[in-house]
């Protein structure tokens, strides 16, 4: 496991009580990459900034996948953002099954880092989607130091086919984490109504609960890219899809689109219908290769052939390239089958679209229903009525540049997933978990 250590020092608010002033460091640990290597890294970095707004110092201990480092090796990366004090460290990740088993039952140096550098001012530890056994060890360690222990739960992983020791262990760990280890914490942070209700209905009074969606901080040049081209004469609409999980070697068998988290196959079918009606569009697909996708959905080979270059499979690309494409798009599109897997999380791609002023085309699910206003900052595509979905998509792709510009402005002005909305609930959450840990 690779470990990244990020330190952010900020002054403590004057109105905080003496205990908060004395102990003001919160450590986040988990399987996230920094500075923004994956969706987990994006979420945890912004959650840490939320706690910073309350005056806490935050430490991020995450993962990276540098193949040059041996398991357990530590390397300092220095500052990962030029205008901040964020400093990173790497620790070599597990390569063998035995190393992985050790990794999910131990804390890979996290306790040593905390004990040696932050023992005098540790207020709490937040475990991000952490392995069950290791999480309980972290909680016990934190409480011995007079700190609270919190779980940040943003996923309910699907059951894997039990064909390897690792997959069997992962299935067991998921069960233990969601139904046992998380309930042993002083508090739980969730990102969706589904998870919040799940833990509220199971002795919610035992722990404090805080629901916050995934925040996304815009890049620094965003202000220069808000110019909307209202006079363009190009009627073609540019769409963007970004998703992962389209490697057939990593899917449960038998191969089927039903195993996918993101239903790109639904999108292809709907776009084919509007293509037949003469609508001009272009879709860039990130995270999927055409060949591998057709191994999962071979029945769509003819459909893709008929649409020609209207759908372009980009494969896995750097995060910056994905965001640059998003900024230039008329719509971001994704669809998901409502299930425990998809309802438990919160789609980072939705928040990214709002931040960069891009309307979203997706199906209605309870995690984003409070945030997407149909016809204002996006459209819901009805998965229960194909005709309605095609009509909605047709309408969106025939909008004028000025109509789309209005929707883009609505997205930029959307504040439902803004960090400012969660400052007061987070402050109350911290006080509750302190009470629980006493």
- Kindly report, residue by residue over 129-146, the tens digit of the pLDDT: 999 999 999 999 999 999
Quick one: pLDDT at residue 204? 60
Please give the pLDDT value at position 228: 53
Average pLDDT, the chain: 84
Q: Are strands 311-315 and 281-286 parallel, antiparallel or unpaired?
A: parallel
Q: State mean pLDDT over 265-284.
A: 96
151-160, 302-311, 337-346, 426-435: the lowest-pLDDT one:
151-160
**Radius of gyration of the chain, Cα coordinates, nearest whole angstrom:** 22
Q: What is the pLDDT of residue 8?
A: 38
Residue-level pLDDT at 78: 58
In the block, residue with structure tokens 């769409």: 239
pTM, entire model: 0.86
Task: Render pLDDT for 212-229 as a digit per residue (tens, 0 to 9).
Answer: 998 887 654 444 444 455
109-133 per-position pLDDT tens digit = 678 778 887 888 899 999 999 999 9
Q: Tell me the two tokens of residue 209.
A: 């609960």
Quickly state the pLDDT bin for 178 (edges 50, 70, 90). Answer: very high
Q: Peptide bond before 178: cis, by omega within 30 degrees of 0?
A: no
**Structural domains present in the chain:** 4-213+419-437 (3.40.50.2000), 222-413 (3.40.50.2000)
Paired strand residues for 122: 25
Average pLDDT of the residues in 157-168: 75
pLDDT the model gives residue 133: 93
Least-confidence region, from 103-107, 338-342, 419-423: 103-107
Check pLDDT > 90 for residue 396. Answer: yes
pLDDT at 91: 66
What pLDDT, on the 0 to 100 scale, is given for residue 4?
Answer: 39
pLDDT at 186 over 90: yes
Query: Of the ranges 3-7, 244-248, 323-327, 363-367, which one carries the lowest mean pLDDT score?
Result: 3-7
Structural contact between residues 58 and 26, judged by C-beta atoms closer than 8 angstroms = yes
Q: How many Cα atoms are found within 13 Å in the side-chain-facing hemisphere of 2?
A: 21
Rounded distance, CA 6 to CA 25, Å?
Answer: 12
Residue 337 and residue 364: Cα distance in Å, rounded? 10
The backbone torsions φ and ψ at residue 75, rounded to the nearest 5 degrees and listed phi first, read -140, 135
Q: Is the omega angle on the peptide bond into residue 73 within 30 degrees of 0, that is, cis? A: no
Residue 73 pLDDT > 90, yes or no? no
Mean pLDDT of 369-375: 95
Query: How far, in Å, CA of 431 to CA of 20, rounded?
Result: 9
Does residue 434 register a pLDDT over 50?
Answer: yes
Classify residue 67 by its DSSP letter.
T
The separation between the first and the last C-alpha atoms of the chain, rounded to the nearest angstrom, is 32
Chain Cα centroid distance, residue 31: 12
The percent of residues in the chain predicted with pLDDT above 90, rounded, is: 52
The pLDDT assigned to 25 comes to 87
In angstroms, the Cα distances linking 430 to 149, 184, 207, 417 are 11, 17, 11, 20
């Amino acid at each position: 496991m690779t470990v990244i250590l990020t330190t952010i020092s900020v002054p403590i608010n004057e109105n905080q009580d003496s205990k908060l002033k004395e102990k003001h460091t919160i450590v986040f640990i988990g399987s996230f990459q920094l500075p923004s290597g994956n969706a987990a890294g994006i979420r945890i970095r912004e959650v840490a900034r939320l706690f910073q707004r309350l005056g806490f110092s935050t430490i991020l201990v995450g993962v990276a996948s540098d193949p040059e480092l041996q398991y357990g090796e530590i390397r300092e990366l220095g500052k990962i953002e030029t205008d901040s004090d964020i400093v990173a460290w790497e620790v070599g990740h597990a390569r063998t099954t035995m190393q992985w088993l050790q990794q999910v039952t131990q804390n890979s140096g996290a306790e040593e880092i905390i004990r040696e550098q932050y023992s005098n001012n540790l207020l709490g530890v937040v475990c991000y989607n952490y392995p069950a056994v290791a999480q309980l060890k972290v909680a016990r360690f934190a409480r011995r130091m007079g700190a609270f222990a919190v779980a940040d739960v943003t996923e309910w992983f699907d059951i894997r086919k039990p064909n390897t020791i690792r997959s069997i262990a992962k299935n067991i760990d998921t069960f233990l984490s969601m139904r046992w280890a998380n309930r042993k914490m002083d508090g739980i942070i969730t990102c969706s109504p589904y998870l919040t209700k799940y833990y509220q209905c199971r002795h919610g009074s035992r722990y404090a609960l805080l629901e916050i969606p995934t925040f996304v901080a815009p890049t620094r040049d965003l202000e220069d890219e808000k110019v909307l081209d209202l006079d363009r004469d190009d009627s073609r609409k540019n769409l963007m899809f970004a998703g992962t999980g389209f490697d057939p070697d990593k899917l449960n068998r038998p191969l089927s689109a039903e195993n996918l988290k993101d239903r790109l196959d639904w999108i292809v079918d709907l776009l084919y219908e509007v293509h037949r009606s003469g609508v001009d569009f272009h879709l860039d697909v990130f995270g999927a290769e055409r060949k591998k996708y057709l191994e999962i959905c071979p029945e769509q080979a003819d459909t893709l052939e008929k649409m020609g270059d209207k759908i372009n499979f980009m494969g896995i690309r750097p995060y910056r390239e994905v965001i640059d494409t998003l900024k230039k798009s008329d719509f971001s599109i994704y669809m998901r089958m409502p299930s425990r897997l998809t309802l438990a999380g919160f789609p980072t791609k939705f928040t990214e679209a709002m931040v960069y002023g891009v309307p979203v085309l997706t199906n209605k699910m309870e995690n984003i229903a409070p945030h997407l206003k149909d016809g204002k900052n996006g459209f819901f595509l009805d998965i229960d009525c194909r005709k309605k979905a095609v009509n909605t998509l047709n309408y969106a792709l025939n909008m004028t540049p000025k109509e789309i510009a209005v929707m883009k402005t609505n997205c930029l002005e959307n504040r439902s997933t803004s960090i400012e909305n969660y400052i007061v609930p987070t402050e109350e959450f911290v006080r509750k978990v302190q009470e629980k840990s006493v």
